[in-house]
Amino acid sequence: MDKILLCSFLLVSSGSQASRTLTQTNAKFAVDLYQAVSLSHKSNIIFSPLGATMLLGMVHLGARGKAQQQIRQTLKLQETSTGGEFSLLKSFFSAISEKKQEFTFNLASALYLQEGFTVKEQYLHGNEEFFQSATKLVDFQDAKACAETISTWVENKTHGKIKNMFSEDDFGPLTRLVLVNAIYFKGDWKQKFRKEYTQLMNFTNKDGSIVEIPMMKALLRTKYGYFSESSMSYQVLELPYKGDDFSLIIILPAEDVNIEEVEKLITAHQVLKWISEMQEEEVEISLPRFKIEQKLDFKEAFFSLNITEIFSGGCDLSGITDSSEVYVSQVMQKIFFEMNEDGSEAAASTGVQIPVIMSLTQTQFIVNHPFLFIVMNNPTESILFMGRVASPDSPKMKRRDLDSL
C-alpha cells in the first residue's frame, strides 16, 4: 500500500469544459512550480503543486491590486475572477465522499492571522465556501505556544504522521499571516506487491554513491512507454491505485542520462503525451521501498514565478482585513511520502507476481537510480503532487529481515 501524507491540496474537477481548462492551467502551474523548486533543491523533492494552488487561491480571494494581479497571472485566472472558479472544489468533495471505501482522504486547511486584526465576514464566508478552510487568530509573539498550537492541529489532521511542523524559530515579531494546509491520503495498489519478493539491491544515488536498499518486485500488466527525445531515452510506467481514480507515474531515465536533463523536458503537454501514448504490456518491475519527508517554504519559488507582492509590507490584502500591516509571512508545506508493499494480502492480489529471477518478460523497469514521479487523478488528469528521488531514504532492512517476510 502506498501511504502518502502531504501538506497539500488536491483539486479534482468535473468533466465540463471549464473544469478541463482549469485542469490544464493547473498542470502548467504544477510544472512551472516544479522547475522553480528544483533550482534550490538538488537532492530529493516532494511537494504538492495543487496544494500551492489552494494556498494562493486563499490569498487571491482577499488580495487586491498588484498582489491579486500577480497571483492571477501566475495561475492563469481570468481578469474578472472573484473566487468562483474554485467552486469546482465542491464537486470534488462530493465525489470523494462517495468513494471512501476505496481510499482514505482527509483535508484540512487554515489561515493563521495575528491576534488583534479583524477578519472580514465576507472573506470568512468565501474561504469556507471555496476552500473549506478556517481562519484562526493566534499570537505569533508567543512563538513557542503558537508553534505548538499549529503543529498539534497538523498532527491531529494527519493521523499523527506529520509532527512538529513548526518550531518557535519559525515565527518572529513581524509574523502576521501564515498559510497551512494538510492532506492525508492513503490508498492500496490495484495490483499489489508481495513482501516475500522484496530483495536487497544496489541503488546508485545522484552523487554516484551506491547504497543497498529493499527493492519491491513484481511482474505486472500495466501501462508502459519507452521514449527517446533530444538524444536521450527514458521509460515511463503507470501504477494505478485501487479504484483507478489515482495513479503513480514514474519517469526513469536511462542509466547514462542525468536526471536534470529529463527534468528539462517536463511540460504539461509532455505529461499528457506520456499518458496518452503509454500502452498496456507485461512489465518486470523492481521498485525501491522508500520514504521521503520534506518541509518546503514556497517563498523563494513564488518569487521566481513573479509572486512577490504578498510577502512585502503594505501589500493590499484589504479583502481579508482593513489593516495595511498584514502580509504573508510563510507559505509552508511539509510532506511525508512512503512507498511500500503494505496491504498486499495475497487473496486480494490481482497481479501476476513471480520472483524476478524466474521472469521471462522482455520489458524490464528496474528503478535502481534517480527517478521522477507524479501522482495524478485519472478522471481529470490533475496532478496531485510531483517529486524526485535522488537518494531514497529507505526503511532499514537487513538480509535476515528479508528471510522473515
Phi and psi for 140 in degrees, rounded to 5?
A: -65, -15
State how far the Cα of 25 lies from the Cα of 45, in Å rounded to an integer: 22
Tell me the Cα Rg of the chain.
22
Question: Which residue segments constitute the domains of the chain, with CATH numbers given?
Answer: 2-187+292-337 (3.30.497.10), 195-290+344-392 (2.30.39.10)
State how far the Cα of 322 lies from the Cα of 124, in Å rounded to an integer: 14
The predicted structure's pLDDT at residue 286: 94
Burial class from Cβ neighbours inside 10 Å (0-12, 13-18, 19+) for residue 40 reads exposed
Phi and psi based region of residue 311 (left: phi greater than 0; alpha: psi -120 to 50; beta: remaining): alpha
The predicted structure's pLDDT at residue 37: 93
State how far the Cα of 48 lies from the Cα of 336, in Å rounded to an integer: 11
The CB density around residue 139, as the number of other CB atoms within 10 Å, is: 14
The predicted structure's pLDDT at residue 194: 85
The predicted structure's pLDDT at residue 336: 79
* Per-block mean pLDDT, blocks of 10 residues, the chain (405 long): 46 43 75 92 86 87 94 82 58 60 71 93 88 88 94 87 89 91 78 88 93 92 91 93 88 93 89 90 91 86 95 92 91 83 38 47 89 85 85 56 44
The predicted structure's pLDDT at residue 402: 46
* Contact (CB, 8 A) for 45 and 388: yes
The predicted structure's pLDDT at residue 352: 42
Q: Which of 215, 202, 183, 205 is nearest to 341 (CA)?
A: 215
C-alpha angle 152/383/22, rounded to 5°? 105
107, three cell numbers: 483535508
The DSSP 8-state label assigned to residue 189 in this structure reads: B
The predicted structure's pLDDT at residue 328: 94
The predicted structure's pLDDT at residue 7: 45
C-alpha angle 398/195/250, rounded to 5°? 95
The predicted structure's pLDDT at residue 90: 56
State how far the Cα of 67 lies from the Cα of 84, in Å rounded to an integer: 18
Q: Which of 230, 194, 242 is nearest to 356 (CA)?
A: 194
